């Protein structure tokens, strides 16, 4: 049976936990102490755990190149950590990882340049997603309407939730509605409510709509392009006037609601076809955010695999692990269904495999589809292109295999070469 991780859960800032690693990022020992940093831990007293390996307690080892990341434990815990590079190694210790309880994540994410958000499946480590995250925090204290664009399954709902949580409305409700999931005959009543006696069989005393229920908070209108044209005009009025009127009522009511809308359709094409109001589009498109598909932010796939594996291990009380070959196959797949497809795949892998070590995976439609051709590097001097390709291969290998020895073996080079390169990458010299 699985034993709980030796990393204690820190409930306040007085308790600190540190992982001391050798030059190959293997854990030498783990220590805890009170009111100290790793630099003075030996002077203040600590408790040491030895014979600890990543495999014993974590889904995967950390990425050596990233300063701020999250460790995913086998029982579904998420632990934020800071990666410290020791300038003058001692006792074969080259790195120290400082651990934080996940309650600190929101505080750190607003100030860090390398943040990973864990309250949902929203993981933002690629450059494109970091830009979106910066915009989210930039608009946190205003009420501008946000329009989320992108393919199905890219995480628009998670981003809407992040926008709400980062805003000054976070103490009030976020109400989400899928405009394409409610019958056209009912959606007006759902959004705006109705008065007593308006409908036969309606609720006695009438019913408030979702806009009223979201007063002082946020309403998320997913699949906004599915909204019927007659309701598009009413929504436009709500956005312009800040008032709603229940069905069957002659009185308007003032509301204070921030609107976030989303669609996976080509909204401009719908406007040309007269299926979406152009004036409503301009009202919604105050802060447009286009969420890139998962295939364009492949560096996040590894994090998402670990996240969902931890999530479903915890949900079902299991201890599943993915082999290196399976992880490689999942990372090379194009994921047309984006994050939603990836999550469904990981859950399927967890619940349908008998063995804890999973060494093969089959897509429902056959073998997972890989990219046919390697992405060419943009034209640049050949020397620079070689260095860039070398860096990409080394970082990918270290991230995939978890240590420099296995990465060196896979790439057919000396381990010392990779160690030297990694030090230069961390310093930003290459």
pLDDT exceeds 70 at position 102: no
User: Is there a single domain that holds both residue 84 and residue 181?
Assistant: no
Q: Are residues 314 and 339 in the same domain?
A: yes
Residues 6+ apart with CB under 8 A from 225: 179, 263, 265, 267, 270, 275, 276
Is the pLDDT at 264 greater than 80? The verdict is yes
Do residues 272 and 136 both lie within one domain? yes
Q: Give residue-wise pLDDT tens across range 23-43.
A: 777 777 777 665 555 555 555
CB 294 within 8 A of CB 158: no
pLDDT digits (tens, 9 = 90+) for 279-317: 999 999 999 999 999 999 988 898 889 889 988 988 898
pLDDT digits (tens, 9 = 90+) for 66-91: 566 666 666 566 666 666 666 676 66
Which secondary-structure segment (H or E) carries 266?
Answer: none
- Domain span at 405: 382-427
Neighbours of 261 (CB within 10 A): 28
* 253 in the same domain as 144: yes
Beta bridge partners of 287: 146
User: Is the pLDDT score of 48 beyond 60?
Assistant: no
Question: In which band, very low, low, confident or very high, does the pLDDT at 174 lie, cut at 50, 70 and 90?
Answer: very high
User: What total number of domains does the chain contain?
Assistant: 4
- In this structure, the answer to whether residues 354 and 316 fall within a common structural domain is yes
Question: Which of 290, 306, 330 is at the close of a domain?
Answer: 290
**Is residue 318, in this structure, part of any structural domain at all?**
yes
Nearest to 78 by CA among 294, 302, 317, 309: 309
Q: Does 7 reside within a domain?
A: no
d(CA 399, CA 396): 5
8 A C-beta contact, residue 22 and residue 44: no
Is the domain of 241 the same as that of 170? Answer: yes
135 and 274 in one domain? yes
Q: What angle do CA 315, 316, 322 make, to 5 degrees?
A: 95
Residue at 8 is within a domain: no
């Amino acid at each position: 049976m699985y034993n709980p991780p030796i990393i204690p859960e820190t409930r306040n800032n007085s308790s600190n936990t540190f992982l001391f690693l050798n030059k190959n990022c293997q854990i030498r020992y783990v220590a805890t102490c009170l009111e100290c940093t790793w630099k003075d831990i030996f002077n203040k007293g600590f408790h040491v755990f030895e014979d600890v390996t990543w495999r014993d307690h974590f889904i995967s080892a950390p990425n050596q190149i990233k300063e701020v990341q999250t460790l995913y434990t086998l029982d579904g815990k998420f632990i934020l950590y800071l990666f410290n590079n020791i300038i003058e190694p001692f006792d074969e210790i080259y790195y120290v990882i400082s651990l934080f309880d996940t309650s600190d994540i929101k505080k750190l994410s607003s100030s860090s340049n390398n943040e990973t958000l864990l309250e949902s499946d929203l993981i933002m480590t690629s450059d494109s997603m970091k830009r979106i995250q910066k915009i989210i925090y930039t608009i946190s204290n205003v009420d501008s309407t946000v329009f989320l664009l992108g393919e199905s399954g890219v995480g628009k709902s998670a981003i809407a939730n992040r926008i709400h949580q980062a805003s000054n409305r976070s103490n009030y409700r976020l109400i989400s509605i899928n405009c394409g999931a409610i019958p056209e005959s009912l959606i007006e009543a759902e959004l705006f409510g109705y008065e007593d006696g308006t409908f036969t069989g309606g609720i006695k005393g009438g019913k408030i709509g979702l806009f009223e229920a979201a007063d002082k908070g946020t309403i998320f209108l997913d699949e906004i392009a599915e909204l019927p044209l007659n309701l598009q005009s009413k929504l436009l009025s709500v956005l312009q006037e800040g008032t709603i009127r229940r069905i069957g009522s002659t009185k308007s009511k003032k509301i204070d609601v921030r609107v976030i809308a989303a669609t996976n359709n080509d909204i401009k094409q719908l406007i040309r076809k007269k299926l979406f109001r152009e004036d409503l589009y301009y009202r919604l498109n105050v802060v447009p955010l286009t969420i890139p598909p998962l295939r364009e932010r492949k560096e996040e796939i590894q994090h998402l695999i670990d996240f969902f594996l931890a999530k479903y291990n915890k949900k079902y009380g299991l201890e599943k692990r993915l082999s290196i070959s399976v992880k490689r196959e999942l990372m090379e797949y194009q994921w047309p269904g984006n994050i939603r497809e990836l999550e469904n795949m990981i859950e399927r892998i967890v619940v349908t495999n008998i063995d804890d070590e999973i060494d093969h995976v089959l897509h429902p439609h056959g073998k997972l589809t890989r990219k046919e051709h390697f992405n060419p590097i943009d034209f640049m001097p050949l020397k620079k292109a070689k260095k860039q390709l070398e860096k990409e291969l080394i970082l990918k290998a270290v991230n995939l295999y978890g240590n420099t020895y296995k990465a060196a073996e896979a790439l057919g080079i000396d381990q010392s070469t990779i160690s030297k390169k990694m030090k230069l990458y961390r310093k930003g010299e290459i």
